[in-house]
Structure 1
């Protein structure tokens, strides 16, 4: 007489399929979070870059205005001295 061994069935069990489903779900959730965060960083960096461009333009405009004011001050001083000289 031969004795039969208790063998486990080959194939995917319910537990294995649940582990696979949970692993895929976790991976999908983490991937979606990463994509969302990457998009948010991208859009925020666009806003920051726009602000930096505006700041650099305003700084350049400030320099030009300061030079203009200095030129006007110099012109005003020169014309004041000319009037003072002519009054004598």
Structure 2
């Protein structure tokens, strides 16, 4: 059984991880790549963090930078993946 998580339950840990790694408070709608906060190497770490934290597998069409561009988009991705679990 998958535990129901709210958007805040998802966005909070993602934002905390970003804050810890970048030393910047990132607005949920800020483009992480356009702002230069996240490189492609760091994006891979972010993917692993999201998978491990929320017990989801990000594969195939979901493995696109657009899904990791903002905290909001990552929250939407995790919500969708967990709903399909």
Structure number with greater CO (CA < 8 Å, separation at least 6) is 2
TM-score by shorter chain over 0.5: no
TM-score (norm 2): 0.22
TM-score (norm 1): 0.21
